[in-house]
């Protein structure tokens, strides 16, 4: 069943157009009921969101925070499950507690949910890839992603389908709160429906990513930069690279460069920049200049219709099209491929990286 792929991770990266369209098949229109019976009254009752998760699922929640605050105008707090479960927090009974998980069995995420309930939280929702999981059973509402079974330890298709589910949630919340018109909601839904074919076009960039991976396989460190909703994508790119290629990688919001990490930049520290064509592009360009001026080598995922070209010390790959708020779903794909091909170059065990388990069911 692996044919024609060499690894499950590779298969799962290339399955993403299918996983995304399956996750959207039953969505005829935006409505709170996509999240289960009674979700309308829950969405009406809540005044904020508290999202709890681990690892890659946590990064999808970080992207969701940007979407939900900007489009649905609801305040969102995102917290790592293992932190939340053990700290004294101030519960807001009007918050909707959302847990996100591929497996639905991650020990810390389950414990965080139970902790939230013990503090009096009653509004709960899960975004999960396994309909029969403990997490789904223990949450009042849910959205089941249809990534299909994910075997590679490094999560790929689960992440992008979580993002699709979060975008649906964003639109359903905006609808319930009356902050977007039906026409605006439909426009966003159309853009989401186009995402599977947009992802397909991004996958065709693989040969260019392979040439980047040849460079990365010879490095010991890498830095990933992004701004706004692409900062979590930089975090996810760094996590993928460290997990499967064992290269030390860190991600920063690009505006933080000057506050420390710029000291690390040398010709031996490749800097990956997630550079969508958004309001922050000009700021990002000046961050890139700061890296080049110090001899750093940039690997830039430039958006369609931006004027960033390959040059001395700058390798640019141009994304096929621009997707507005959905652009994180597209920009993560080349980063998954970069980690995969770098790991191939290093000869590591891609599907079963050392020391890691697919599902972390113990603390
Ligand atoms: C990274 C990865 C992990 C998981 C994390 C949460 O590639 O796979 O960081 O995302 O262990 O797992 P789930 O989503 O099953 O709760």
3-state SS of 149-177 is CCCCCCCCHHHHHHHHHHHHHHHHHHHHH
Element (H, E) at 342: helix 327-346
DSSP structure class, residue 311 = B
d(CA 103, CA 358): 9
Residue nearest to atom 10 of ligand 1 (CA): 56
Residue 363 binned pLDDT confidence (cut-offs 50, 70, 90): confident
Q: Give the list of residues 6+ apart from residue 355 with CB closer than 8 angstroms, or none.
A: none
Mean pLDDT of 78-95: 97
Closest atom of ligand 1 relative to the 56 alpha carbon: 10
d(CA 360, CA 352): 14
Distance 338 CA to ligand 1 centre (A): 19
Residue 266, judged by CB atoms within 10 A of its CB (0-12, 13-18, 19+), counts as: exposed
11 φ/ψ angles, rounded to the nearest 5 degrees: -60, -45
Q: Give the list of residues 6+ apart from residue 202 with CB closer than 8 angstroms, or none.
A: 319, 320, 330, 333, 334
Pocket test for ligand 1, best of 8, 12, 54 (most atoms within 8 A of CB): 54
What are 204-213's pLDDT values in tens digits? 999 999 999 9
What are 115-134's pLDDT values in tens digits? 999 999 999 999 999 999 99
Distance 127 CA to ligand 1 centre (A): 13
Per DSSP, what are the bridge partners of residue 246?
none
Least confidently predicted of 2-6, 160-164, 211-215, 273-277:
273-277
ipTM: 0.99
Residue nearest to atom 16 of ligand 1 (CA): 101
Answer yes or no: is the C-beta of 162 below 6 A from any ligand 1 atom.
Answer: no
The pTM is what?
0.97
What are 306-352's pLDDT values in tens digits? 888 888 889 999 999 888 999 999 999 999 999 999 999 999 999 99
- Cβ of 349: how many Cβ atoms within 10 Å? 11
Mean pLDDT of 79-87: 98
d(CA 154, CA 117): 30
Q: Is pLDDT at 277 greater than 80 in this prediction? A: no
Among residues 117, 285, 352, 358, which one is catalytic?
358
Answer yes or no: is the C-beta of 277 below 6 A from any ligand 1 atom.
Answer: no
Distance 159 CA to ligand 1 centre (A): 9
Answer yes or no: is the C-beta of 136 below 6 A from any ligand 1 atom.
Answer: no
Only one residue has tokens 């074919």, namely: 197
Answer yes or no: is the C-beta of 56 below 6 A from any ligand 1 atom.
Answer: yes
d(CA 330, CA 337): 12
Distance 181 CA to ligand 1 centre (A): 35
Average pLDDT over the chain, rounded to an integer: 95
Residue 284 binned pLDDT confidence (cut-offs 50, 70, 90): confident
Distance 292 CA to ligand 1 centre (A): 34
Answer yes or no: is the C-beta of 133 below 6 A from any ligand 1 atom.
Answer: no
Element (H, E) at 186: helix 182-203
- In the residue annotation, 358 being an active-site residue is answered as yes
d(CA 42, CA 49): 12
């Amino acid at each position: 069943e692996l044919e024609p792929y060499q690894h499950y991770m590779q298969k799962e990266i290339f399955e993403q157009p299918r996983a995304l369209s399956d996750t959207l098949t039953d969505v005829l229109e935006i409505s709170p009921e996509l999240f289960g019976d009674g979700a309308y009254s829950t969405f009406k009752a809540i005044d904020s969101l508290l999202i709890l998760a681990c690892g890659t699922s946590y990064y999808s929640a970080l992207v969701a925070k940007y979407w939900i605050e900007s489009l649905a105008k609801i305040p969102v707090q995102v917290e790592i499950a293992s932190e939340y479960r053990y700290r004294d927090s101030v519960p807001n009974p009007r918050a909707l507690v959302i847990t996100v998980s591929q497996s639905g069995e991650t020990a810390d995420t389950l414990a965080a949910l139970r902790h939230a309930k013990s503090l009096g939280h009653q509004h709960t929702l899960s975004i999960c890839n396994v309909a029969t999981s403990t997490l789904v059973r223990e949450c009042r509402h849910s959205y089941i992603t249809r990534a299909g079974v994910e075997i590679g330890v490094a999560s790929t298709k689960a992440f992008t389908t979580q993002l699709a589910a979060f975008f649906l949630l964003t639109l359903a919340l905006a609808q319930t709160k009356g902050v977007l018109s039906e026409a605006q909601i439909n426009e966003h839904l159309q853009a989401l429906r186009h995402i599977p074919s947009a992802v397909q076009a991004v996958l065709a960039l693989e040969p260019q990513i392979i040439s980047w991976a040849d460079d990365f396989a010879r490095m010991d460190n890498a830095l990933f930069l992004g701004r706004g909703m692409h900062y979590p994508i930089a975090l996810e790119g760094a996590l993928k690279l460290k997990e499967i290629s064992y290269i030390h990688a860190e991600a920063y919001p690009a505006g933080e460069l000057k506050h420390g990490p710029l000291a690390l930049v040398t010709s031996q520290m490749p800097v990956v920049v997630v550079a969508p064509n958004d309001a922050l592009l000009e700021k990002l360009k000046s961050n890139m200049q700061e890296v080049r001026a110090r001899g750093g080598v940039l690997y830039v995922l430039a958006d369609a219709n931006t004027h960033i070209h390959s040059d001395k010390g700058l390798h640019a790959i141009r994304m096929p099209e621009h997707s507005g708020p959905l652009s994180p779903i597209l920009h993560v794909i080349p980063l998954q491929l970069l980690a995969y091909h770098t790991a191939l170059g290093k000869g590591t065990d891609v599907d079963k990286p050392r020391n890691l388990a697919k599902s972390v069911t113990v603390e």
